[in-house]
């Protein structure tokens, strides 16, 4: 039998339909892969018994002719999505042991489509980080290795680092991620997989532990563009329980992969070549432009003049919303409680012990910029700049259909690098944050390898709710890149 863990989701779906193997066999193969690769620390909670029970039910549905769009396909769920009866921690000590009595809308939709969850995937604590080193449950290791130093442990990116590592290591066929400022796209680039942050409002946020509510968006991470299209179709849709969910029909994203992009105009923003951009990343970007020209698309230089303010704006707005959202963790209702002499003392001790250093840092920044006397100087001004960033994109899309940029300024770096300088770490999201600030769809796909044998990604940005064009162009680029490399030992 084919090595089942090397199949793409689309391949496995078609072979399940033909009866070449069962959902139980496919799930069991992935459970073995999870057990064999525990050293990567990609999972916080494994649920093999639940997965096998769901696989048996999937086989029965298929026999009855009632298979769903993702029936029998083993996936992982980022541990930011509430899962009924299964521990949901947000990779934080303060939520350790918390078992929700409800299911998030997105994970519920995937379950309804027949997807089989193998467990909850590691992440940066409360999704705050770009390297998956802030998790209370330990850092995640990237399955890729440097040629020059094969023993060095590399970061998988963040915050969806567990999701990216698990997909790249063939532990799961696909995984859910969330993206606030690049947390699907940057780890996808670091791990040589594909991931898309849909338009804000495309997927419900209900039941997803909140970081920054005006930015957070769920999306799929998988090994191919087609797999992401299949999974997004199952994740997306209107949800009356989420006030920011958009009531709009969900297209068949897989049908958009026509392979024909002739006549499309692709924007190339001049502001995305800053000092310090890796030569290798710049060359991959230029190669991507050539692929699109060869396929009949026309590259057009555009300007996004407020890009240079995006990072600073993000690190005012996101921490402000974080400080508000995380005020609910007080030790009274759920999660960790550290006894104190008074109620205020209990609050202080619980939050001091329950939150890690990066989360505390962002709460402090956010509380400061929202405080009396500083609100207008920081938060109100940042919201105005955010509107200007969105306006830049709106003007650009009057003359182009999609925008092509690098995903990250470099390949994956070593664990421990830059941890003493938070600003250096924050710069990893310099190319992804503007898209998030404007609420636009952004997809990262692998486009080549660095001289050290590490994946490099390119990002495609689309108009609001035009994921179809993003997928169409991504499909063409994927075929041109012919990225067949995978981590050693996979």
With residue 311 as reference, give the H or E element that holds it. Answer: helix 310-325
CB of 185 within 8 A of CB of 160?
no
Contacts (Cβ under 8 Å, ≥6 apart) of 245: 201, 203, 204, 205, 206, 238, 239
Q: Following DSSP, what letter does each residue of 123-179 receive, concatenated? A: -SGGG--SSS---TT-PPPPS---SS-TTS-B---SSSHHHHHHHHTTSSSEEEEEE
Positive or negative, the CA dihedral 223, 229, 232, 233 is negative
* Paired tokens of 376: 């207008």
User: 27-45 in b/e burial notation, b at 16+ Cβ within 10 A?
Assistant: bbbbbebbeebeebbbbbb
Describe the strand order of the beta sheet including 265-269 as a list of residue ranges: 43-46, 116-121, 74-78, 174-179, 217-222, 194-197, 442-449, 455-462, 402-406, 265-269, 298-302
* Paired tokens of 165: 């590592």
Q: How far apart are CA 145 and CA 228, in angstroms?
A: 25
With residue 389 as reference, give the H or E element that holds it. Answer: helix 381-396
Smallest CA-to-CA distance from 95 within 130, 131, 53, 137 is with 137
Q: Is 183 among the residues known to form the active site?
A: yes
Q: Is 159 among the residues known to form the active site?
A: yes
> CA dihedral defined by 342, 346, 347, 348, rounded to 10 degrees?
100
Q: How far apart are CA 490 and CA 95, in angstroms?
A: 33
Q: Which of 183, 204, 256, 436 is catalytic?
A: 183
Q: How far apart are CA 79 and CA 122, in angstroms?
A: 6
Smallest CA-to-CA distance from 52 within 19, 74, 79, 83 is with 74
Q: Which of 130, 135, 159, 444 is catalytic?
A: 159
Q: Is 323 among the residues known to form the active site?
A: no
Q: How far apart are CA 109 and CA 87, in angstroms?
A: 19
> Catalytic residue positions?
78, 159, 183
């Amino acid at each position: 039998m084919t090595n089942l863990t090397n199949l793409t989701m689309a391949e496995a779906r078609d072979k399940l339909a033909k009866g070449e193997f069962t959902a139980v066999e496919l799930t069991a193969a992935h459970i073995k892969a999870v057990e064999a690769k525990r050293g990567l620390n990609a999972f916080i909670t494994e649920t093999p018994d639940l997965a096998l029970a769901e696989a048996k039910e999937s086989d029965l549905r298929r026999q009855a002719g009632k298979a769903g769009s993702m029936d029998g396909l083993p996936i992982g769920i980022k541990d930011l999505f509430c899962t009924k009866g299964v521990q949901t921690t947000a990779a934080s000590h303060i939520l350790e042991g918390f078992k929700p009595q409800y299911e998030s809308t997105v994970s519920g939709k995937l379950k309804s489509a027949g997807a089989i969850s193998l467990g909850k995937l590691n992440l940066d604590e409360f999704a705050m980080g770009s390297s998956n080193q802030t998790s209370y449950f330990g850092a995640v290791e990237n399955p890729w290795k440097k040629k020059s130093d094969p023993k060095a442990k590399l970061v998988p990116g963040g915050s969806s680092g567990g999701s990216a590592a698990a997909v790249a290591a063939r532990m799961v066929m696909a995984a859910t991620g969330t993206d606030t400022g690049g947390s699907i796209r940057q780890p996808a680039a670091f791990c040589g997989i594909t991931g898309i942050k849909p338009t804000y409002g495309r997927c419900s946020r209900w039941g997803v532990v909140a970081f920054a509510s005006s930015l957070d968006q769920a999306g799929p991470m998988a090994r191919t563009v087609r797999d992401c299209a299949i999974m997004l179709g199952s994740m997306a849709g209107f949800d009356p329980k989420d006030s920011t969910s958009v009531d709009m029909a969900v297209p068949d994203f897989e049908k958009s992969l026509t392979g024909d992009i002739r006549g499309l105009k692709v924007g190339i923003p001049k502001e995305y070549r800053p000092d310090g951009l890796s030569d290798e990343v710049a060359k991959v970007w230029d190669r991507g432009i050539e692929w699109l020209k060869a396929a009949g698309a026309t590259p057009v230089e555009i300007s996004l003049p407020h890009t240079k303010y995006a990072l600073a704006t993000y690190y005012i707005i996101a921490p402000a919303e974080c400080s508000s959202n995380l005020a609910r963790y007080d030790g009274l209702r759920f999660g960790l409680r550290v006894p104190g002499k008074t109620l205020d003392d209990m609050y202080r001790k619980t939050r001091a012990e329950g939150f890690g250093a990066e989360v505390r840092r962002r709460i402090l920044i956010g509380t400061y910029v929202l405080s009396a006397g500083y609100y207008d100087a920081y938060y109100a001004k940042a919201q105005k700049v955010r509107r200007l960033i969105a306006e830049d994109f709106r003007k650009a899309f009057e003359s182009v259909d999609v925008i092509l940029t690098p995903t990250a300024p470099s390949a994956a770096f070593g664990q421990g690098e830059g941890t003493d300088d938070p600003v250096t770490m924050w710069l990893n999201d310099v190319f992804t944050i503007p898209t998030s600030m404007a609420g636009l769809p952004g997809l990262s796909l692998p486009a080549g390898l660095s001289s050290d044998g590490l994946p490099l990604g390119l990002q495609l940005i689309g108009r609001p709710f035009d994921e179809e064009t993003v997928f169409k162009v991504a499909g063409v680029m994927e075929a041109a890149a012919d990225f067949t490399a995978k981590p050693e030992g996979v």
